[in-house]
Structure 1
Amino acid sequence: MAENPSEALDARLRPGPSTSSKKDAGVLVIGLGRFGSAIASTLERLGQDVLAVEKSPEIVAQWAGRVPLVEADCTNPDALEQLGARDFSVAVVGVGSYLEASVLITGNLVDIGIPQIWAKATSPEHSRILQRIGAHHVILPESDAGSRVAHLVSGKLLDYIEVEDGFTIVKMRPPKETQGFTLAQSKVRSRYGVTVIGVKSPGAEFQYATPETRVSGTDIIVVSGHADLLERFAARP
């Protein structure tokens, strides 16, 4: 599972089939700080169509030749028009440290009708503002990463990703009461309200779980469910 919260977004940022008459130019990434540059470079590495936009000439020079890039100030609606922003199905606003710029850029993208707008926020208040002006997805990278690490250092979890509304996927060692039994025998879902998605045994390939899947003490299991239920399950001896 991805270590970097920004890289964890890459699959969800890939444009899906367009339902409009717009040309799908891919993903527009505005701002090449640590967050925006990680998204742009990851999408580029995955072969996705991406265009990065940065205001600072120094940062533009740093990233020139590494990702498709233009220098522009996207707080100006005319700049967005000139670079063809209307043709993009997804836009990411990586500008977070400057609240006014973040809000202006997001508002400009809303005004031109970008189907999916992802925006970085630096605080819950910033997040609420972005949501109110029309951002479809708001990310708080530091808060999300801090929450994730807290879950990892406080228990038996090996990895932790909260998907949405408390639904979470974790990687963990199996509790002793499940070891040596099939999932049907241990009744994990009915007893604990969580679902074992798959099992990885040492030296073997990952296998999707079935009721007949037998779990051993050396396995790593991938489990989904509500965060509270997963914490209780992981706390079992």
Structure 2
Amino acid sequence: MAKKPAVDDPIAVLGLGRFGGSLALELIRQGWEVIGIDADSGAVQALADKLTHAAVADTTDEEALRQLGVHELTNVVVGIGTDVQASILTTSLLTDLAVPHILAKAISRQHATILRRVGAHHVVLPEHEMGERVAHMVTGQILNFIQLDDDYVLAKTHAPTVVIDRTLADADLRKTHDVTVVAIKRPGIPFTHTTGDTVVYAGDVLIVVGDPASVQAFASLT
């Protein structure tokens, strides 16, 4: 059973296509109340029995959003993708309505820049971010990859031989490779936090943080 969030304030998802629909369902799974809104009655009908409330409405219409109570919410997601104009107008309208936290989906960097300029507090580029993530994983050296900022990433990788049978303090990876190992996993044992006394063995999996180039270089070591 999903854990009930600490805050019961519903979340509105505007645009119920692949991104918005998947996000709305995941929020429901996590225990949130979700209001789904889309101009396409088919998209709304497909999710109507799964969301807390679903409505057909033009998200660029201020009165329609007010009637649905969107202006009273803390978190609103603009999941509109291909209709860039509707995405920008909807985001701008939410800004005018003083919504405290607006997350918007962009389909290009230019689109993302405009969304930020009209008031989006957080912008995601799902296709670009997934492509970048897979690019780092495709060689098999990095098992998972998350970009936390332009110059800071977190990666899951097999322990390279340079640290095998050594403590992290002895390896001094911050100095030698400009990365930090924050967690370690041994076969059959859950991930645990590391200390300077942690010894790395063959077969261990590491969680490493640092700038993208350094993390990639460290994961590529044999």
TM-score (ref. length: structure 2) = 0.93
SS at match of 1:218: coil
**Matches of 2:75 and 2:112 in 1, distance apart?**
19
Partner residue in 1 for 2:75:
90
Partner residue in 1 for 2:12:
28
Partner residue in 2 for 1:235:
220
The farther-off stretch of 87-96 and 49-58 is 49-58
Partner residue in 2 for 1:126:
111
Judged with a 3 Å threshold, the aligned counterparts in structure 2 of structure 1 residues 190 and 163 are, in CA distance, closer, same or farther, namely same
SS at match of 1:204: coil
Partner residue in 2 for 1:37:
21
**Matches of 2:115 and 2:217 in 1, distance apart?**
34
Of residues 181, 191, 211, the one that matches 1:196 is: 181
For the pair 1:185 / 2:160, whether they are aligned, the reply is no
The one-letter code of the counterpart of 2:29 is: R
1:152-191 superposed matches below 5 A: 152-154=137-139, 156-191=141-176
**Matches of 1:123 and 1:191 in 2, distance apart?**
37
SS at match of 2:201: coil
Partner residue in 2 for 1:71:
56
Partner residue in 1 for 2:199:
214
Flag structure 1 segments of 5+ consecutive residues without an equivalent: 1-14, 18-23
**Matches of 1:178 and 1:146 in 2, distance apart?**
30
Judged with a 3 Å threshold, the aligned counterparts in structure 2 of structure 1 residues 16 and 169 are, in CA distance, closer, same or farther, namely farther
Partner residue in 1 for 2:129:
144
After TM superposition, the runs of 4+ consecutive aligned structure 1 residues lying more than 6 A away are none
For the pair 1:101 / 2:79, whether they are aligned, the reply is no
1:95 is displaced (CA, Å) by 0.3
Of residues 35, 54, 71, the one that matches 1:51 is: 35
Q: Deviations over 1:180-230 (max 9, x none)?
A: 111111111221111111001001121111111111111111111111110
**Relative to total residues, which structure has the larger strand share, 1 or 2?**
2
Partner residue in 2 for 1:224:
209
Q: Deviations over 1:55-107 (max 9, x none)?
A: 11111111111112222111101111101112211111000100111011111
1:165 is displaced (CA, Å) by 2.5
Q: CA RMSD in A?
A: 1.7
**Matches of 1:16 and 1:137 in 2, distance apart?**
21
**Matches of 2:38 and 2:49 in 1, distance apart?**
14
Flag structure 2 segments of 5+ consecutive residues without an equivalent: none
TM-score (ref. length: structure 1) = 0.87
The one-letter code of the counterpart of 1:115 is: P
